[in-house]
Amino acid sequence: MAVIPVALAGRAYEVVIEQGLLDHIASRAEPYLAPYNRTGRAVPFVADTNTHAIFAGDLNDRLASAGIKAEWFVVEPGEDAKTWRVLERLCDWLLALGVTRKDHVFALGGGVVGDLVGFACAILKRGVGFVQIPTTLLAQVDSSVGGKTAINTAAGKNLIGAFHQPSLVLIDPLVLATLPDREMRAGYAEVLKYGLLGDAAFFAWLEANGEKVLAREPAALEHAIASSIAMKARIVAEDERETLDRRALLNLGHTFGHALEAETGFSDRLLHGEAVALGMVLAARYSARRGELSADDAARAARAIAAAGLPSEIAALGLACNGAALVDHMRHDKKAEGTTLPFLLLKALGEAYVARDVDLSDIAAFLDAELAAGKAGSGAV
């Protein structure tokens, strides 16, 4: 068991990581469940159809034995749940339940459910509380902590949102037993990200133990989750709203990654974590091209990503576009600053930094070479 504090003045909260935690939900979340109990009301839980089908039965039983009744709002799985329409229905449902500003809403699911519930709670009555119970590795190590909440619109992903911190994050690594392997690997990309961006020793540990993490071996998995969250918590506490260059470090691999996600239509062709994995390979190789990282270290980063069964060559995606088209997607990135774009690059494995002097035409040329690498049969690493 690990308890990691997120030290934000006035909104400090804890992330609890514990095997079998869901069996003790009534005691672990007691402060946030008790107000409903005192007033004889049902507790609002939000899930998607998968997490509802897998976990709601047991959770209802655990809660019932503590005299608590849950009401469920269940959305379809996938990004389509992060829309104005679903947000409106969720807010109406919470209002109909009589949720007050002192109450907490429970989010049980991956990043989609967490982002949707977090944003609904940010705007409902100008802010009600929420508890995150992330059920994907990606949500456990990344999106459930830090308070970024959002929905999507026709213009792009996560363009409508708010910073709204949860009051508690409850992580039970056992819930990952049912997570599809591909989703597990995608979440693992964000775990590797923490090693690459700020902790060489953790990166080396992942090189040696990544297989155990992916196989959900309890001790390795808990260490990977706790180390990831400890770093995220530290960075968020230093720079909650990404106004310094600290929180931006968490975007390692994401500028390249978002361009690849956009090019593949944000579809199952390339999951977010897979795009981030490729993005990190590209960031490492581009850093090597600038002479800031050794070619050996760039190859080592790519090897760790490939070893986890994650994509490490963009040529293998078979994209029909060129580098300029990918750069065009980047210009529409939320992080774009006018005509320039901050790039997260590596000085070493375990040391990322924000580069503001990157020439986008050089990025396009670099990407053209990467896109052609496989075709020429020279896809190194």
* Residue 111 touches ligand ADP, criterion: CB under 6 A: yes
Q: Which residues are catalytic?
A: 126, 148, 190, 232, 242, 247, 251, 254, 258, 272
* Residue 77 touches ligand ADP, criterion: CB under 6 A: yes
* Residue 54 touches ligand ADP, criterion: CB under 6 A: yes
* Residue 275 touches ligand ADP, criterion: CB under 6 A: no
In the bound complex, what is the minimum distance in angstroms from residue 306's beta carbon to ligand ADP? 20
The backbone torsions φ and ψ at residue 310, rounded to the nearest 5 degrees and listed phi first, read: -95, 155
Rounded CA gap, 325 and 333, in Å?
13
In the bound complex, what is the minimum distance in angstroms from residue 117's beta carbon to ligand ADP? 11
Torsion angle (degrees, nearest 10) of CA 367, 373, 379, 381: -20
Give the nearer residue to ligand ADP in terms of CB position, either 78 or 318. Answer: 78
In the bound complex, what is the minimum distance in angstroms from residue 130's beta carbon to ligand ADP? 15
Give the nearer residue to ligand ADP in terms of CB position, either 77 or 374. Answer: 77
In the bound complex, what is the minimum distance in angstroms from residue 154's beta carbon to ligand ADP? 19
* Residue 116 touches ligand ADP, criterion: CB under 6 A: no
Q: How far is CA 280 from CA 257, 271, 289, in A?
A: 8, 14, 14
* Residue 179 touches ligand ADP, criterion: CB under 6 A: yes
The backbone torsions φ and ψ at residue 165, rounded to the nearest 5 degrees and listed phi first, read: -80, 140
Rounded CA gap, 144 and 133, in Å?
8
Q: What angle, 0 to 180 degrees and rounded to 10, lies between the N-to-C axes of helices 272-289 and 254-263?
A: 130
Give the nearer residue to ligand ADP in terms of CB position, either 109 or 146. Answer: 109
Contact 125/98 with Cβ under 8 angstroms? no
In the bound complex, what is the minimum distance in angstroms from residue 93's beta carbon to ligand ADP? 19
Number of residues that bind ligand ADP (CB under 6 A): 20
Give the nearer residue to ligand ADP in terms of CB position, either 178 or 294. Answer: 178
| Among 59, 103, 109, 165, interactor with ligand ADP by CB under 6 A | 109
Site residues, ligand ADP (CB under 6 A): 48, 50-51, 54, 77-78, 109-113, 135-136, 138-139, 175-176, 178-179, 183
